[in-house]
Amino acid sequence: TMNHAAERAVPEAANVFVDAIGKMSIDDATAVLKGGDTAATEYLRKTSTDTLAARFAPIVEDAMQQTGVTRSYQNLIGSGGFMGGFMKDSKWDLANYVTERALDGVFLMVGREEQRIRANPAARTTELLKKVFAAR
């Protein structure tokens, strides 16, 4: 399914996020620390979306091929398919759509976790998190 395609791409996010955090300036770090409940998530979205999309896309496309999603979609919009008359000239890209929704899901989950960490001292499970948010 499309969800499985998106799930296969998610592990790529950790390395991209580590890289983005490593490139964070003092001003960026201050803004994240003093920012709202999802300031870190928004920083990651701003600095990582293009890289994540480039890494997710081939994984999503491969998974869609393997699960038959691409073939089903092509049959649906093809000249003999149910939607063929409506979408024959469409430039809509299913793989791009799935990739974008996967990214939305990643940032949604990261944002929820950030909110939990900011709101609940018990959620700060590493010494670094304890130290960073104690200074807040």
More confident residue, 76 or 119: 119
Q: Which amino acid is at 11?
A: P
Q: How far is CA 105 from CA 46, 66, 98, 100, in A?
A: 15, 22, 10, 9
- C-alpha Rg value of the chain to the nearest Å: 19
Average pLDDT over residues 38-50: 97
pTM of the model: 0.78
Assigned token pair, 112: 């929820």
Give residue 62's pLDDT band: very low, low, confident or very high (50, 70, 90).
confident
Contacts of 14 (CB under 8 A, 6+ apart): none
Residue 60, CA distances (Å) to 3, 65, 96, 97, 118 in order: 9, 9, 9, 10, 32
For the chain, give every domain's residue range: 2-134
Q: What is the pLDDT of residue 86?
A: 55
pLDDT digits (tens, 9 = 90+) for 71-116: 777 666 665 555 555 555 556 678 888 889 889 999 999 999 999 9
> Which of 85, 50, 69 is closest to 7 using CA atoms?
69
